[in-house]
Amino acid sequence: MKKNTTIYSLLFLLLSALSSCSQWEGETVESAYREPQIPDPSYQFKRTGSSSVDYLECSLLRDPLDYIYSSYLRTANIMYESAMTRVKDYFDHGEFGLKPQEELAASPLHKADRKRILNDVEEIFKVTGRLSGLGQPSPGTYRNHKAKIGEGGYVGIHIGDVNIAFADEKGLVVAELFNGIVWGGIYLDKILNVHLNDSLYNDTRLRREHENTSLLPGRNYTELEHHWDLAYGYYQYWLPFVQAGGLPVLRESRIKIYNAFARGRLALTEYRYDEVQQQLQLIRTELSKVAAVRAMNLLVSDITLSNLDEDINNALVFLSQGCGALYALQFTLQESGKPHLSYNQVKSYINELTAGNGLWDKKRLLGDEATQGSLKHVAAQIGKVYGLTLNDIKRSY
């Protein structure tokens, strides 16, 4: 019995010692561990037991645009007039009644520039036709031409490469510029300038119908709810850019934007319109920052600069994606509701990069921040507009 008592006493002393080691009088112990932030609430909303969320429209609009890019533009596969007709038909008429041509730069904020933006798309189709050999006696033979300074053609080791791309005489891969126009002029414009337009949520009629639960014909949601849900649906196409790994400046963007969408939708359900506006502003600010960071990163990331330094052919796609991302910035918004940049401004940045020998001018592109037309110069100028620096977009490894 005495032996057991001794053992219990030793255990008690050991536990006391361990406890005293983990609790320090008058001191605060900081840990590097941070509990994961859990989204609250989730983006699931119901009415009478059925979901009141529907953003099928988003994928129906995207499908023909993806098809144009992957089947015709990226591969320069507009060798015949019949192919050009198909491309324009997909763009003008789309599928299921959703017409990409009508949805591009459709917000009132960009009405003045809409014609010029549509002309830019038309020019991309024409350039792709030219790169495809459209109108040539032997389109396939003409298409089998490697791009070089002053001459458009394919970019890669061989025309049969899996990841083939086609650049114009300036080295611009126009398929990537098309993507930039779509991601900005349709998806970002839809999110920020159409469906999250603050005037919608201040509209007396829409509020009254929402509060009276006046559902859209054959649907389980009000018009205001549907606007918010469509913004969330189009945001899914920007989500991969928000989740881009290794950029500390975007570390909390995904959770901030997700929570803003979920909390804003909940506030809308409960008629708390001030909260709706607050979450709307947060999405506007954070997503605009994401767009700017993406453009800057594409221009001066280690991947782009390393490829440019090693072999300019390997960098042309990244540089062209950067030009597309620059184009999209005209659709970002300040807190005041005005665009951060105009159509003319984003075009001037792209023109600066493609001046002279264009994206083939390795020496100019790799110049320092003070060099006009260098990647660092353009990225830094963009950063100033959004309150960002080149250091902000460095990855943490």
pLDDT, one tens digit per residue, over 35-65 is 455 545 689 999 999 999 999 999 999 999 9
Percent of the chain exceeding pLDDT 70 equals 89
Structure tokens at 334: 């300040």
Question: What's the mean per-residue pLDDT of the chain?
Answer: 91
Residue 3 inside a domain? The answer is no
Q: CA 234 to CA 342: how far, in whole Å? A: 22
pLDDT in tens, 185-203: 999 999 999 999 999 999 9
Mean pLDDT of 287-306: 96
Q: CA 193 to CA 136: how far, in whole Å? A: 43
Asked if residues 57 and 99 have their Cβ atoms less than 8 Å apart, the reply is no
The b-or-e profile of 266-277 (16+ CB within 10 A means b, else e) is: bbbbeeeeeebe
Residue 15 pLDDT: 40
Residue 38 pLDDT: 53
Confidence of residue 234 (pLDDT cuts 50, 70, 90): very high
- CB-count burial class (<10 Å; 0-12, 13-18, 19+) for 372: exposed
Structure tokens at 38: 């859990």
- Over 249-313, what HEC string results? HHCCHHHHHHHHHHHHHHHHHCCCHHHHHHHHHHHHHHHHHHHHHHHHHHHHCHHHHHHHHHCHH
Residue 31 inside a domain? The answer is no
Confidence of residue 156 (pLDDT cuts 50, 70, 90): confident
H or E stretch including 47?
A: strand 46-47
Mean pLDDT of 240-264: 93
If you search the block for the tokens 């509020």, which residue do you land on?
A: 207
Whole-model pTM: value is 0.89
Q: CA 173 to CA 320: how far, in whole Å? A: 6
Confidence of residue 298 (pLDDT cuts 50, 70, 90): very high
pLDDT in tens, 92-129: 999 999 999 999 999 999 999 999 999 999 999 999 99
Asked if residues 222 and 209 have their Cβ atoms less than 8 Å apart, the reply is yes
Q: Is the pLDDT of residue 313 over 80?
A: yes
Q: CA 134 to CA 76: how far, in whole Å? A: 10
Residue 191 inside a domain? The answer is yes
pLDDT in tens, 352-397: 999 999 999 999 999 999 999 999 999 999 999 999 999 999 876 5
Residue 9 inside a domain? The answer is no
Residue 41 pLDDT: 65
Q: Is the pLDDT of residue 174 over 70?
A: yes
Residue 195 pLDDT: 99
Residue 40 inside a domain? The answer is no
**Domain that includes residue 101, residue range:** 46-393
If you search the block for the tokens 């319109």, which residue do you land on?
A: 273
* The dihedral sign for the CA sequence 388, 391, 395, 397: negative
Domain count, the chain: 1
Mean pLDDT of 14-24: 38
Residue 12 inside a domain? The answer is no
pLDDT in tens, 69-83: 999 999 999 999 999
Residue 189 inside a domain? The answer is yes
Strands 46-47 vs 50-51: parallel, antiparallel or unpaired: antiparallel
Residue 237 inside a domain? The answer is yes
Q: How many CB atoms lie within 10 A of CB 50?
A: 7
